[in-house]
Structure 1
Amino acid sequence: MIDADLSRRGFLFGLGSLALMACTGRTFASQLGTISSNVPSAFAHPGLMHTQADFVRMAQKHIRSPWVGSWDLLVASPKATLSYSSAPVSTIYRGRDVTQNFSRLYNECAAMYGMALRWKITGDATYAAKATSMLNGWASTLTSIQGRDRALVSGPQGFELANIAEMLRDYSGFTDGNLASVKNMLRTIFYPISHDLLSNHGGRSPLQINANWYLFNMAAIMAIGILCDDRVLFDEAVGYFKTGNGNGCVMRAAYYMHPGYLCQWQESGRDQPHTMDGIAAMAVVCEMAWHQGVDLYGYDNNRFLAGTEYSAKANVIASGTTYYTVPYVPYQNGVYTWNTFSILKQGDATPCWALIYNHYVNRKGLAAPYSTKKALAIQPEGGDWDFIGYGTLAYTLDAIPTGAAPSGLSGYISAGAVVLSWWGGVYAIDYTVKRSAQAGGPYTTVASGITDLLTYTDTPPAPGTWYYIVTANTPHGESAPSNETAVLTGTHLHTHLPFNNTIGTSAADASSNGHAGTLNGGATWVAGKQGNALSLNGSNGYVALPNQLMDDVADFTVSVWVFWNASRNSERVFDFGAGTDRYLMLTPCASSGVTCFSMTITGVSGERSINGNAALPIGTWVHVAVTLSGSVGTLYVNGLAVGSNTDMFLAPFRIWDSNQNWIGRSQYSSDPYFNGKIDDFRIYHGALSVDDVASLANAP
């Protein structure tokens, strides 16, 4: 087990109780470019979990409902009192390999935060003085954090301590020297552990450490960066959120997007408290970044909201004692295999929901029905030695006067039909889907009265490109339309490499879509099945295709002629992906001894595969094709189906940001290069029929 037992989690701080290319399933496919563009050069202070405007609002509203509920819990807390006894130690231990004392620090963090918050709201400086004395004590005493699970101190408590110092930095009794000492403690004791987790993953595979570990340490790095005015640390956390190779990356933490923008969380098959820990930690990362002008809440078309909606729905009572149900696909990462949604501690009340609900609903005007239900179900949010959030007090905003128009509309093809999803507005009554054969309309209504989920599956009258918008029915009439999304239906060439070149290192794309290949190493031109072909030497020859080659592909067909010179396991006819954790590939002979096509987004243990009935023969031209229609995948050899799998829930677009798209080379550096010839390589949008595949195999 990588993760510690966090059933008594003492580290949540300050939390509250596409225009997409046609046939992708991505939600505004991640724009992974500049990490922190349009960010002011100087950090705003206070600017971690609370701004000065937040403190003013709390002071004004803490005696009014619903804010007063959290305030009463804060005042009643035995920790947020002047009589609390502080006892700093030089070393904090966490992990089964040591005698643990980490509860000492997180209890004192809860106390310091509570007293700092009482000072900010009431102006009673005795609370600031007490919190300052305690913080100074830790800064002058603590020298190290030890134990197997020390990252579960560096992350949550590093984040907490930075927030406490940020709250006290304008207290006259908290001197520049005091602040410098706290910064030094955080930089030299906490940050190195957090940075090492993100960089080295405890010596394990990045995906074998769960999301909550990464996210709390990302929160610590971001908080320390803001407190210390260190742009490098801030950018480290933002960059990991967007492109990190561990489960702190939003694309990995919010693991699988179901229709209607319900995104299955990475730990949903484990238990609900750990799931909520990850969501809580991602919420604080988003909130701190928001206060510094970086919108991670909205990144990749509100992917975090999709994750919160999924998890909130799964943990809210639908009726009686029955929870809402959510869709689920298996999760495997080499250590854990979670094949079903976990009901362990379902209904977990981690106090992070006021923050999430108020951002998306009352800041942005978006509909977040399940996050709203969850926030209201646990209101008022309190804080004890486990969770010291008081979110109803800290994050509740006045209701937004008007909701947003529908937005984020995207569509992809599944089993030949168009699957649409969109975000709604908070005051919408229901939604209407409209379709046109041309960009900009005129549009015809194809569905109306849609309420929940915000998804619709359409079957257009003919193959081609179809254009969609969504409008909302509101108390004030029909809303403005959403963005328009275009979806290509039917079967169409996506890439066609005839390999008929005779010289040079560029393989022309006959589809006119600009997907030319580049020959590398021992890749040459020879006589082929028809005309010329690509010859690969089995040692370093391969063809590289453009980045993000199949980011816009859902249902698909790959068709290729293969001449295999000599049998070696794990060679690749093609392998498209971004490393050994996410790819789609075809091998003429897997370790099982048969032809195999596989896709994964969690490494080899998570592969969804279609196995043939034998390895490809050597010394002869063979036609091979793979099709995917919805969740049904089929493998063909010489026009005949030799294998199928009806549980292929992955699709090329779910691999996201593929930048290693190769013919003849594997994502795994230890696998051999392909030794043989390749001819007439084709990718189609859409799944070709059995007869169409046979026609390709039997063509002259």
Structure 2
Amino acid sequence: MTHPLNDDGNDFLLDRRVFFLGTAGALALGAAGCGGGGGGFSTVGGIPARQQSQQQISGATPDATGAVAATDPVTATDPVAPDPTAPPTHVRKLNHPGLLHTEADLKRIRDKLAASAQPWVAGWNMLLNGRRANLDAKPVPLETVIRGVDGQNFGQMIVDMQRALHLALRWKITGDEDYARKAVEFLNAWSSTLTKLGGNSNVFLASGLYGYQWADAAELMRSYAGWAPEDVTRFQTMLLKVFYPLCHDFLVNHNGTETRKVTHYWANWDLCNICSIYAIGVFCDRLDLTDEAVKYYKTGRGNGASAQNVYFVHPGHLGQWQESHRDQGHSTLGIALAGALCEMAWNQGEDLYGYWNNRLLSGAEYVAQTNLSDANGNPYTMPFTPYTGVFGTGTAVAGTGSPRPCWELIYNHYVNRKGLAAPWTKAIVDKVRPERADGGDSTGLGTLLYARDPVPAAKPSGLSAFLSGGKVLLSWWGSAGATHYLVQRAASPEGPFTTLSQVTDPRTYTDGPAQGTWYYRIDAVTGEGELAGAQTLRVAVPGELWLHLPLNRDANDASGHGLHAQLKGGTSWGEGRTGGGAVQLDGRSGHVALPDGAVSALGDFTIALWVYWDASAVNTRIFDFGSNDVAYMAVIPRDGKDQLRFMSTRVQFWNEESVSSASALPIGRWVHVAITLSGTVGTLYVDGSPVASESEIRMPPFQFGHTTQTWLGRSQYGGDPFFKGRMQDLRIYSGAQDAAFIADLAR
């Protein structure tokens, strides 16, 4: 385990009954340190006798991964530390113990060890060989823990934090109260001494990485009668006053980069602080904190949020991780932290693992394959979408072979709890089992703690079907133990289905059917027989009308799909292009809100409408479909270069892919504007004629997920002006319509 001096680099401040119409995507939309670089990259039967030897942690090795930030201690600028004596504000109850380990988990471990079962015995030996759970060890608490500057001392806290956890585990597994008393000694020593975390920006790694692990150890001990109530309260107070304010402040302010450069900080920075807030919330019985953490994971702007930590989903549900082009130590750390968050939430009854069609599994499979080699010892060539951010452009995965112990938790949930296939995660588990303890960024010991017996294989699920380049691109989640999959197509949802191909991995297939409406299903072939797929999806080729807002004195969808819009702010009805009405937007607050996720099931698309622009303000929007100012697709009638521009991005403005015309949108007359996407080719039309095209538009609507701010006339950026003028006849199609079709719409 190596510890960086600074990770900042702050140089810049459904089931088969569910059908989608048109280009269908069965995504479960709406229904994830050392940030600092961390990670380095005698068999017993039953419960062995107590081992009392002691081993100190090795000295930390600096890992200079960025410019050193200011050396003054960082303090929270928005320290909303809750009062630990405040009454609960929620009705529902939290489960205890309910962080990374439940009583059912602990019973499973005890039973498996009593039966001398593998791999649990090997995992237990990893705990013993780590020599952290020794009864002769003495805590060395610190009043101030420093990370990231000269004189940093956080390594000592890591040692004692791990000792507390390992001692707690030995008590829970063996029932020997000597370990419970020793664990409480460590917890009490630190809660009665620690008052501050300091250092440079790396203090936010300390608040996240260590806050959730301290809470995890304490959560195991909360049932111990020998831990006095006043001592429990003091430990809660330490977590709430020393750790939580920094975690909260980081997610709110990102060390001063929130407004313009929120994506400056890599995914692991957010994820460790989300984990810490969640874990502190559970141990302190603060549902407001657990809700804060979950909300950020689902809807936050930073790179640790689920929508950003998996930056791009490639065919076969391979999710490119946000740090994959950086290095694998940080990528595997992100997997470890996201997995810990999902496990904690699972133990509280919330399925973050399954959020957005198992988005974490897509990232885990991608990172796992990245860190494996083929039969000839060569790293795999990974699909990669260029990533341009604050630190430049990444064009390929960086490095390989990180052995961080984070895979058992992921594997055992998705495969042995849910019956899904995770072949790359399984391969890396087979390589590293039994997992060792981690060096400080996470707990590790996954073989002991998370291994479980398998459940029956699940049906193929998570099927998505998008038009891409005019063809149907299919991806799905497989079944545990399946040998291969049958890609099937029919002309009706009831069949009969014809098998198009047999597929192993990756689990994807591209079909080029004739024009018409088609239904797709995936079946799995296993040693026990064939499993029919859980979904059947409908796709219209070459596309169909998806949404139609005539905007002629109402905002109802005339397509028949029920995607009705709402008029917001300063809107009224003005004169239409050829009589009738058009929506009038006042340029101050008026806009049209489409339903959340209105375009989220689209790959190839066509968006066309008539606009009458009264003003020439820079950076207003004709439309802007997204959830925040980090991820969106939009058309600007006049950008900073006086050009009409379509743009699409997943990394704030750093990674905008765009198509621009030679001039801005004309003002003072009705203009027909259309944008089409076919595969990666975007084409911009004005008055029925193509005016610009770009071949590297890689972000179709489905990559943005269930958008929550899907607007006409309003920008994701609060400082941009609203559109002033009129709009009429918005049409959105699945599929990229051809030039003749667009010309006909513009008549």
**Superposed pair shares fold, TM > 0.5:** yes
The equivalences for 1:92-171 within 5 A come to: 92-96=145-149, 99-147=151-199, 148-171=201-224
The one-letter code sitting in structure 1 at the alignment partner of 2:28 is: F
Q: Distance in 2 between matches of 1:429 and 1:146?
A: 53
The one-letter code sitting in structure 1 at the alignment partner of 2:208 is: G
Q: Distance in 1 between matches of 2:351 and 2:384?
A: 28
1:89 aligns with 2:142: yes
Which range is displaced more, 593-602 or 40-49? 40-49
Q: Distance in 2 between matches of 1:534 and 1:172?
A: 67
Tell me what 1:372 maps to. Answer: 426
1:389 aligns with 2:441: no
The one-letter code sitting in structure 2 at the alignment partner of 1:410 is: S
Instruction: Answer yes or no: is the 8 Å Cα contact 2:24–2:538 preserved in 1.
Output: no
Tell me what 1:549 maps to. Answer: 598
Q: Distance in 2 between matches of 1:677 and 1:57?
A: 65
Q: Distance in 2 between matches of 1:29 and 1:320?
A: 39
Alignment partner of 2:378 out of 322, 328, 348: 322
Alignment partner of 1:636 out of 677, 682, 685: 685
1:126–1:684 CA distance, 2 compared to 1 (3 A): same
Deviations 1:609-639 (A, max 9, x none): 0011222333444332211011110112233
Q: Distance in 2 between matches of 1:340 and 1:258?
A: 15
1:669–1:513 CA distance, 2 compared to 1 (3 A): same
Per-residue deviation at 1:373?
A: 0.6
1:534–1:224 CA distance, 2 compared to 1 (3 A): closer
Q: How many residues align?
A: 671
Tell me what 1:222 maps to. Answer: 278
Q: Distance in 1 between matches of 2:193 and 2:138?
A: 16
Q: Distance in 1 between matches of 2:555 and 2:353?
A: 41
Q: Distance in 2 between matches of 1:528 and 1:185?
A: 65
Tell me what 1:12 maps to. Answer: none
1:384–1:450 CA distance, 2 compared to 1 (3 A): closer
The one-letter code sitting in structure 2 at the alignment partner of 1:634 is: T
The one-letter code sitting in structure 2 at the alignment partner of 1:124 is: D
The equivalences for 1:463-482 within 5 A come to: 463-464=516-517, 466-482=518-534
Alignment partner of 1:197 out of 225, 243, 250: 250
Q: Distance in 1 between matches of 2:296 and 2:407?
A: 23
Per-residue deviation at 1:453?
A: 1.0
Per-residue deviation at 1:535?
A: 4.3
The one-letter code sitting in structure 2 at the alignment partner of 1:187 is: L
SS at match of 2:290: helix
Q: Distance in 2 between matches of 1:207 and 1:119?
A: 42
Q: Distance in 2 between matches of 1:50 and 1:6?
A: 31
Alignment partner of 1:436 out of 469, 490, 514: 490
1:6–1:53 CA distance, 2 compared to 1 (3 A): farther
1:342–1:432 CA distance, 2 compared to 1 (3 A): closer
Which range is displaced more, 278-287 or 480-489? 480-489
1:199–1:75 CA distance, 2 compared to 1 (3 A): same
Tell me what 2:96 maps to. Answer: 45
The equivalences for 1:612-691 within 5 A come to: 612-691=661-740
The one-letter code sitting in structure 2 at the alignment partner of 1:47 is: G
Q: Distance in 1 between matches of 2:413 and 2:571?
A: 55
User: Is there any run of 5+ residues in structure 1 with no aligned partner, and where?
Assistant: 8-17, 33-38
Instruction: Answer yes or no: is the 8 Å Cα contact 1:20–1:28 preserved in 2.
Output: no
Query: What is the percent sequence identity of the aligned residues?
Result: 43
Q: Distance in 2 between matches of 1:187 and 1:567?
A: 51
Pairwise CA RMSD: 2.6
Per-residue deviation at 1:85?
A: 3.6
1:113–1:542 CA distance, 2 compared to 1 (3 A): closer
1:236–1:564 CA distance, 2 compared to 1 (3 A): closer
Per-residue deviation at 1:351?
A: 0.4
Instruction: Answer yes or no: is the 8 Å Cα contact 1:571–1:671 preserved in 2.
Output: yes
Tell me what 2:288 maps to. Answer: 232
Instruction: Answer yes or no: is the 8 Å Cα contact 2:167–2:180 preserved in 1.
Output: yes
Tell me what 1:304 maps to. Answer: 360
Per-residue deviation at 1:285?
A: 1.1
Instruction: Answer yes or no: is the 8 Å Cα contact 2:514–2:541 preserved in 1.
Output: no
SS at match of 1:240: helix
1:436–1:391 CA distance, 2 compared to 1 (3 A): same
Q: Distance in 2 between matches of 1:527 and 1:353?
A: 59
Instruction: Answer yes or no: is the 8 Å Cα contact 2:586–2:725 preserved in 1.
Output: yes
Alignment partner of 1:495 out of 528, 547, 560: 547
Per-residue deviation at 1:125?
A: 3.0
Tell me what 1:57 maps to. Answer: 108
Tell me what 1:458 maps to. Answer: 511
Q: Distance in 2 between matches of 1:508 and 1:162?
A: 51
1:4–1:540 CA distance, 2 compared to 1 (3 A): farther
Tell me what 1:175 maps to. Answer: 228
1:68–1:694 CA distance, 2 compared to 1 (3 A): same
Per-residue deviation at 1:114?
A: 2.0
1:559–1:470 CA distance, 2 compared to 1 (3 A): same
Instruction: Answer yes or no: is the 8 Å Cα contact 1:469–1:483 preserved in 2.
Output: yes
Q: Distance in 1 between matches of 2:724 and 2:92?
A: 53
Per-residue deviation at 1:274?
A: 1.0
Instruction: Answer yes or no: is the 8 Å Cα contact 2:635–2:646 preserved in 1.
Output: yes
Alignment partner of 1:341 out of 396, 403, 426: 396
Per-residue deviation at 1:689?
A: 0.8
1:67–1:497 CA distance, 2 compared to 1 (3 A): closer
Instruction: Answer yes or no: is the 8 Å Cα contact 1:582–1:602 preserved in 2.
Output: yes
The one-letter code sitting in structure 1 at the alignment partner of 2:720 is: D
Q: Distance in 2 between matches of 1:165 and 1:622?
A: 64
TM-score w.r.t. the length of structure 2 is 0.84
Instruction: Answer yes or no: is the 8 Å Cα contact 1:523–1:543 preserved in 2.
Output: no
SS at match of 1:394: helix
The one-letter code sitting in structure 1 at the alignment partner of 2:560 is: S
The one-letter code sitting in structure 2 at the alignment partner of 1:424 is: G
TM-score w.r.t. the length of structure 1 is 0.90
SS at match of 2:654: helix
1:53–1:479 CA distance, 2 compared to 1 (3 A): same
Instruction: Answer yes or no: is the 8 Å Cα contact 2:404–2:438 preserved in 1.
Output: no
Which range is displaced more, 267-276 or 573-582? 573-582
Tell me what 1:513 maps to. Answer: 561
Q: Distance in 2 between matches of 1:516 and 1:172?
A: 58
Q: Distance in 2 between matches of 1:262 and 1:171?
A: 43
SS at match of 2:374: strand
1:21 aligns with 2:20: yes
Instruction: Answer yes or no: is the 8 Å Cα contact 2:460–2:534 preserved in 1.
Output: yes
1:121–1:511 CA distance, 2 compared to 1 (3 A): closer
The one-letter code sitting in structure 2 at the alignment partner of 1:636 is: Y
Per-residue deviation at 1:20?
A: 6.1
Per-residue deviation at 1:185?
A: 1.3
Instruction: Answer yes or no: is the 8 Å Cα contact 2:583–2:727 preserved in 1.
Output: yes
User: Is there any run of 5+ residues in structure 2 with no aligned partner, and where?
Assistant: 8-13, 33-89
The equivalences for 1:261-276 within 5 A come to: 261-276=317-332
Per-residue deviation at 1:224?
A: 1.9
Per-residue deviation at 1:471?
A: 1.1
Alignment partner of 2:657 out of 605, 608, 611: 608
Instruction: Answer yes or no: is the 8 Å Cα contact 1:564–1:675 preserved in 2.
Output: yes
Per-residue deviation at 1:292?
A: 2.0
Alignment partner of 2:617 out of 565, 568, 589: 568
Q: Distance in 2 between matches of 1:548 and 1:399?
A: 35
1:508–1:477 CA distance, 2 compared to 1 (3 A): closer
Instruction: Answer yes or no: is the 8 Å Cα contact 2:109–2:449 preserved in 1.
Output: yes
Tell me what 2:53 maps to. Answer: none
Tell me what 1:362 maps to. Answer: 416
Q: Distance in 2 between matches of 1:676 and 1:170?
A: 64
Deviations 1:560-614 (A, max 9, x none): 3334444332232222222322222212221122111111222222211001122
Tell me what 2:344 maps to. Answer: 288
SS at match of 2:281: helix
1:589–1:479 CA distance, 2 compared to 1 (3 A): same
Instruction: Answer yes or no: is the 8 Å Cα contact 1:107–1:385 preserved in 2.
Output: no
Tell me what 1:595 maps to. Answer: 644
1:110–1:645 CA distance, 2 compared to 1 (3 A): same
